[in-house]
Amino acid sequence: MAELSFTQEELDEIEKIKAKFPTVKAATLQVLWVAQRKYGHVEPEVQQLVAETLDLPAAHVHGVASFYTQYYKEEMGKFVLDVCTCLSCQLCGGYEILHHLEDELGIKAGETTDDGMFSIQEVECLGACGYAPMLQVTNGVYVNNLTEEKADELIKNLREGRMPEFESMQMPKLEKRNQAAS
């Protein structure tokens, strides 16, 4: 990888981020986002750049980057499909969806398609247990209550450049409360 650096504009953004927090360490997450936005991932060299920019130990930045699945530690596909396989998703078919996507895309979790279009990751809880099984597309939109047909439609739409739209989900308790109030 060529020598890495932040532009002056990015450094100015980083200074604004640092100013929001009482310690520089607290800015690590947001500065990693700046780096990932620029490079598409936070490989060890990018983590080192963040560490040097924040004047923090590289081990600290590596620890933060490696803890969160949202930070990509290697080059990824254009669309990253984070398939949740925590208990709720697992019980509702999360692994079946993961394996279906692997079969459809011809890759295993942790891999990227040859055309660089898709990467699949198996991730722990994305915090949408009530809508399991679910996945997240490239740290963005959640796709809930997945079925194999819904996963196929998602792949087709992403290939055609159409991102899934935000899906509003009703909370069962809130739905009951709203029904009682009307």
Number of domains present in the structure of the chain: 2
What pLDDT sits at residue 28?
A: 98
At residue 27, what are phi and psi to the nearest 5 degrees?
-85, -5
Is the pLDDT at 174 greater than 70? The verdict is no
Assess if residue 45 is contained within a domain: yes
Give the tens place of pLDDT for each residue, 147-156: 999 999 999 9
Give the type of residue at 122: E
Query: Is 86 marked as a binding-site residue?
Result: no
Please tell me whether residues 155 and 83 are part of one structural domain: yes
**How much is the mean pLDDT over the chain?**
93
Please tell me whether residues 50 and 90 are part of one structural domain: no
Query: Is 84 marked as a binding-site residue?
Result: yes
Assess if residue 26 is contained within a domain: yes
Query: Is 89 marked as a binding-site residue?
Result: yes
CA distance 138 to 121: 10
**Cβ contact 126:97 at 8 Å:** no
Least confident of 72-76, 87-91, 172-176: 172-176
Is the pLDDT at 88 greater than 70? The verdict is yes
Please tell me whether residues 94 and 125 are part of one structural domain: yes
Domain that holds residue 32: 8-67
Please tell me whether residues 47 and 85 are part of one structural domain: no
CA distance 29 to 65: 8
Assess if residue 181 is contained within a domain: no
- pLDDT more than 70, % of the chain: 97
| pTM (predicted TM-score) | 0.81
Structure tokens at 170: 């009703």
Assess if residue 114 is contained within a domain: yes
Least confident of 105-109, 160-164, 178-182: 178-182
Query: Is 92 marked as a binding-site residue?
Result: no
Give the tens place of pLDDT for each residue, 23-75: 999 999 999 999 999 999 999 999 999 999 999 999 999 999 999 988 999 99
Is the pLDDT at 177 greater than 90? The verdict is no
